[in-house]
Amino acid sequence: MTTPEIIHPRALVDPKVTLGPGVRVGAFSIIGPEVTLGAGVEIGHHVVLEGRVVLEPRVKVGHGAVIGGEPQDLKFKPGTPSGVKIGAETVIREYVTIHRATQPEGWTEIGARCLIMALSHIAHDCRVGNGVIIINYAGITGHCQIGDHATIGGYTGIVPFVRVGAYAYMGGCGKIAADLPPFMLADGTPATVRGVNVIGLRRAGIAAPDRRALQEAHRLLYRGGLSPGKALERIRAELPANPLVEQLIQFVASSRRGICPPPDGWRDSAASGDATEDAERERVI
């Protein structure tokens, strides 16, 4: 038996909206004509969904959230057909803002089973993976990519175009100005890598041998006194083949902004590939 949707009589839901079974919409929420709500989606009070917004089944949106608003980008042209996609069972808490993409047919994408805590912001054209946690008041600026199961601490800001790798953990009240490699634990302003996210990996069921392999790779990358490029050569030469270590290698090797440094900086800064300041000047959003 199909569960009927429940729309509060004081909500404004456009008749062109696509509603799945069991959808709930709270009082004073406004749902635009290009919105698609999957089965079991729950929308709180005073929520605004505008533009192209696709919420997959069982997404929950807290009171006062605004999803699909125009991007805060001077290059954006009003009327551009773009939108926001949010994966199944993701929870968007109170007063979160998520802006749609800047380019025609583009999408700002949030994966499945994420938790976006209250008053956080995700800007245009971001790609957020599955199982990501973004803690209160975090600001994710335009074109950022966050890998699966990463955590971004409260009050932390991320510079545009930065990547955060899978299972990385960034502490609160920080600034990520360069790519944060997967599996690493970082903190500070600007962020520096302090170690491997061992607790997060253990909770995720990553086996002990894989955790030890990542710790050894971290030692060579961040404590060997080498630039990232030379450290990768040592990792390839000295460590046994491991898929998680290979993921780390590929992330670092493909970085265009440079990676977050160790607390004391790179010994060979000229070879570190950290062009963060130049890139930040060139890519102002």
Positions annotated as catalytic residues are 124-125, 142
Q: Judge whether 65 and 44 are in contact, CB under 8 Å.
A: yes
Exposure string of 119-141, with b = 16+ CB inside 10 Å and e = fewer, is bbbbbbbbebbbbbbbbbbbbbb
- List Cβ neighbours of 169 (8 Å cut-off, separation of 6 or more): 150, 151, 153, 184, 185, 186, 197, 200
Q: Provide the token pair at 27.
A: 């009082």
Q: Which amino acid type is present at position 273?
A: G
Q: Judge whether 169 and 151 are in contact, CB under 8 Å.
A: yes
Q: Using DSSP, how many helices (H) and how many strands (E) does the chain show?
A: 5, 28
Neighbours of 228 (CB within 10 A): 22
Question: Which of these, 89, 22, 39, 99, lies nearest to 60 by C-alpha position?
Answer: 89
Alpha helices in the chain (DSSP H): 198-203, 208-222, 228-238, 243-253, 276-282
SS3 77: coil
